Chain A
Amino acid sequence: MNSSSTQYLNSKRMDVYEPMHQFSMWGDFKGNIYQDASATMIIEVDAKLDNQSEDTSHTTIGPSNQCDQEASKPGDKVLRRLAQNREAARKSRLRKKQLEVSRLKLLHLEQELEQTRAQCALMSGGVNVCHLGFPGGANSVTPAGIAAFKMEYERWVEEQNKKTNALKTALHSPLPDMELHILVDDTMNHYANLFTIKANAAKVDVCYLISGVWKTSTERLFLWIGGFRPSELLKVLVPQLDLLDQQSHDLSNLIQACQQAEDSLSQGMEKLQQTLAEAVAFAHALGGGCYEMTNAMDKLEELVRLVIQADYVRKEALQQTIRYLTTRQAAQGLISLGEYFQRLRDLSSAWAMRLCEPA
C-alpha cells in the first residue's frame, strides 16, 4: 500500500493515467480483475442486446473486438435497434390481426352453440307439450308450449341485438369480407330460427301467435298475419343502402313482388275469416247447448297453414334481398334492420313510461 501512495504523490505524469494505473498498482490480482471485469461486462451487455433482437443481427462479436467497436461505431448500434423495433412492431400488428380473426371465429361458434341449445330446449318443450295422451287436455297443454315460446322469443331478441352489434363492430373494422360474410350468414340463420320458433308456436296455439300479444305494443301496430310485412321492411331498409342502379331496380321489383304476395295471402285470410264466421254461425246444434265444432276447428287448422306461409314469405323476402347485395351492403342492411326493430321496441317502452307519469 505504501508503494502505491508513494507513487501517487511523486509522479505528475502518472496523474493522467491515474485511474487505470491505480488499479494496476493495487496488486495484479485485483487490478486485473477490475480491468477484465469491466471489459467482460461490456461484452455481456451487448450480447444480451444481440439476443433480444429476433431475426436481425447475426454478427458475433469477440471480446477482443468489443471495446474497439463500441468506441468507434455507436451509430450502427442505434440503427440496428431501430430496425429491431420496427420489426417487433410489425409482428405485433400481425399477431393482433390474427387474434381478431380468431376472436370472431370463437364468437361465431359460441353463437351457433347457443342457437342449437335454444332450439333443443324449445323442441324438448314442444315434445312434452304435444305428447299425445297427456292427461291434462288442451288447457294444460297450451300454456306450457306458449310459455316456452315466450322464453325462446325473449332469448331470440337478446341474441338478435348481440348479432347486430357484432355486425356493426365487424363492418367498421378492417376485416376481410370473408369474416363479414360469416356474420351475415349467422344473422340470416338467426332469422330462420325465429320462423322455426314461430311455426312451433303456431301449431300449439295459432290464435295466440296471430294476436301478436307476444310483441311490443308498437310492433303490433304493424302486425300482418302474425308478423311484419316484408314489403314495409324493405321500404325501411332499401333507402339506407348505397345501391347501384341495377340493384335499385331489382329491389324495387322485389318490393312489388312482396306486395303482390302479401295481397294474395291477405285475401286468403279474409276468405278464411269469412268461412270461419259461417262455420260458427251455422254450426249444427247437437242439443244440450252444444254445437258442432268440427268445421270451425278445421278453419283454425287452416289458419296455422296461413301463418306458416306468411313466415315463409318473410324468410324468402329477406333471403332474396341479401342475394342482390354485396357482403358489406348485406351487413349494413341487417344492421339497419336490427336497429329499426330495437328502436321500435324502445319506443314501446318510452310510450308505456309516458302513460305512467303523473299528469
Chain B
Amino acid sequence: MEKIQSLTSENGVVIFTKSTCCLCYAVTILFQELRVNPVVYEIDQDPEGREMEKALPKQGCNSPPVPAVFIGGKLVGSTNEVMSLHLSGSLIPLLKPYQSLS
C-alpha cells in the first residue's frame, strides 16, 4: 500500500498503532527509552485506516496487525518480535543509526 510504503521509506523508525492499543503504547515507550523517536502513526485516526489495517498483514504483520514496527523501511514485526530482539541484544544495533545523542 502506497501510504505505508511512503511513510516507511521516508522515516527511519515507524510504528503503526491504534490509539486504543496498550501494547502499541508499550512499544513506543520502549523505543523512547532506547533514545529513539519513532514516527507513531495511529491508523484508527486515519480515514484510510481500514485499508492500512488490511495491508499490514500482507506486509507480513499478521496477528495482530498493530503494533507494526518498521526500521529502515523494513518490517521488523509486532510486539513479540521487538521483545525477542531486545532481549537477545539485537534491537539496539538495528536502532543505532536512529538513536539521538542525548
The answer to whether A302 touches B22 (Cβ under 8 A) is yes
A window 177-231: CB within 8 A of B: none
CB-CB < 8 A to B20: which residues of A? Answer: 275, 298, 302
What's the minimum C-beta distance from B87 to chain A, rounded to whole angstroms?
5
| Complex alpha-carbon distance, A309 and B88, angstroms | 16
| Complex alpha-carbon distance, A263 and B31, angstroms | 11
Per-position binary interface string of chain A over residues 258-296, scored 1 when its CB falls under 8 Å from any chain B CB and 0 otherwise: 101101110111011001000000000000000000000
* A264-B27, A267-B26 given; 15 more Cβ-contact pairs under 8 Å: A250-B89, A257-B89, A260-B86, A261-B30, A263-B29, A263-B33, A264-B30, A267-B29, A298-B20, A302-B23, A306-B22, A312-B83, A316-B87, A317-B87, A323-B88
What's the minimum C-beta distance from B37 to chain A, rounded to whole angstroms?
15
| Complex alpha-carbon distance, A45 and B80, angstroms | 77
The answer to whether B87 touches A320 (Cβ under 8 A) is yes
A window 11-54: CB within 8 A of B: none
CB-CB < 8 A to B88: which residues of A? Answer: 320, 323
In this assembly, does B84 line the interface, its C-beta being within 8 Å of a C-beta of chain A?
A: yes
The answer to whether B23 touches A305 (Cβ under 8 A) is yes
In this assembly, does A233 line the interface, its C-beta being within 8 Å of a C-beta of chain B?
A: no
In this assembly, does B99 line the interface, its C-beta being within 8 Å of a C-beta of chain A?
A: no
Closest to A276 in B: B22
Interfacial residues, chain A to chain B (CB-CB below 8 A): 250, 253-254, 257-258, 260-261, 263-265, 267-269, 271-272, 275, 298, 302, 305-306, 309, 312-313, 316-317, 320, 323
Q: List 17 A-B contacts (CB under 8 A).
A: A253-B89, A257-B89, A258-B87, A260-B33, A261-B30, A261-B83, A263-B29, A264-B26, A264-B27, A268-B26, A271-B25, A305-B22, A306-B26, A313-B83, A313-B87, A316-B83, A320-B87
In this assembly, does B79 line the interface, its C-beta being within 8 Å of a C-beta of chain A?
A: yes
| Complex alpha-carbon distance, A264 and B22, angstroms | 10
In this assembly, does B1 line the interface, its C-beta being within 8 Å of a C-beta of chain A?
A: no
CB-CB < 8 A to A302: which residues of B? Answer: 20-23
The answer to whether B86 touches A268 (Cβ under 8 A) is no
CB-CB < 8 A to A320: which residues of B? Answer: 87-88
| Complex alpha-carbon distance, A253 and B89, angstroms | 8
B window 1-50: CB within 8 A of A: 20-23, 25-27, 29-30, 33-34
| Complex alpha-carbon distance, A269 and B80, angstroms | 17
The answer to whether A268 touches B29 (Cβ under 8 A) is yes
B window 80-96: CB within 8 A of A: 80, 83-84, 86-89
Given contacts A253-B89, A263-B29, contact A268 B22 (CB under 8 A): yes
